[in-house]
Amino acid sequence: MSVAEPRRIVLLRHAKADWPQVSDHERPLAERGRKDAAVAGRKLADTAITFDLALCSTAARTRETWKLAVHELAHRPKTIYEERVYEASPGELIALFNEVPDDVRNVILIGHNPGVHGLADILAGSAEGDARERMNRRGFPAAGFALLSCGGPWKGLEPGTATLTDYWAPSE
């Protein structure tokens, strides 16, 4: 792969979680969340992106979201369950992307708000467009995702270096 080829990043927020008497890290998906995670997977399949790598939070709700979403994809990427995604700030998430090997082209991150929404905003910088307007209007609901495109090596990913090319929320 040439470094000039665009890389794609999908930032997927976990689906709707339930609130049983367990620690936040162990919260499972609610019934609606299980349905929305599968729908999100089908919408991801519609993008026709072949993911090389999935970075997934270790929280129960993100693992369950990914398990249901990836089932809808034609290709199952290598998945790394990464503790650092849980409760990560946008800067911490950028640092994770900076560690991705350059032979990886397309990455999906399954994480949490506010980090995922903040990362989409920060990477896209001040650029406007339909996807940005929809994301700003709807926020970043559970099971929603943002698709960004960027060039250059992963070590060069920083604020404003990506383009928000698509956004999807279960209510769309």
Structure tokens at 3: 């470094």
Q: Helix or strand or coil: residue 84?
A: helix
Do residues 73 and 51 touch, judged by C-beta distance below 8 A? yes
**The sheet that has 7-13: what strands, in order across it?**
78-81, 53-56, 106-111, 7-13, 145-150, 162-168
CA distances from 70 to 84, 132, 160 (A): 21, 25, 29
Nearest partner of 61 among 22, 88, 86, 26, judged by Cα: 26
The reply to whether 76 sits in an annotated binding site is no
Q: List the binding residues for substrate.
A: 61
Q: List the binding residues.
A: 61
